[in-house]
A = this chain, B = another copy of it.
Amino acid sequence: MSQNAFQDYYPDHWSHCYGCGRLNEQGLQIKSYWEGDETVAAFHPKPYHTAVPGYVYGGLIASLIDCHATGTAAAAAYRAEGRAMDTEPPRRYVTASLHVDYLRPTPIDALLELRAQVKAIKGRKVVVAVTLSAREQVCARGEVVAVQITDDFAAGSD
């Protein structure tokens, strides 16, 4: 895909996240995009992301929902400010709270599709609702409260 993902716009010092940092070589490196008013991401689980054989462990699902939601929060902040993600100042969000309902076992041999909607923007907080689907069945639903971090957070520590 030639379109840049939200995470491709994170400044280097905010690009080390295990879930979504483009500079974390061991990480999941998820990539999130707009699709109309929703955001989407896709992920292929590795064979070792097991819960019980054949199914994905809940921590991976929580991680994907978390990072797709914080990426969505950042993208929504730029949109609300009417500017592109390659403009200054950068926006980056961390998680204040995460809730996941596991609706059915998530198959490990399927492409996992994440889809998110922004529920509210309240000052520095963005509330994001996420579904995680496999083979067109919703396997988990999540809600994340993301909080904007300050421009210099961790900027000097890497």
Contacts and interface: CB of A to CB of B under 8 A. Distances in A.
A80 interface: no
A16 interface: yes
Interface residues of A, number: 43
B52 A18 contact: no
A50 B99 contact: no
Interface stretch (A20-28, A31-39, A83-91, A128-136): A20-28
A157 interface: yes
A94 interface: yes
B154 A53 contact: yes
Nearest to A96: B102
A14 B48 contact: no
B53 A58 contact: no
Nearest to A92: B52
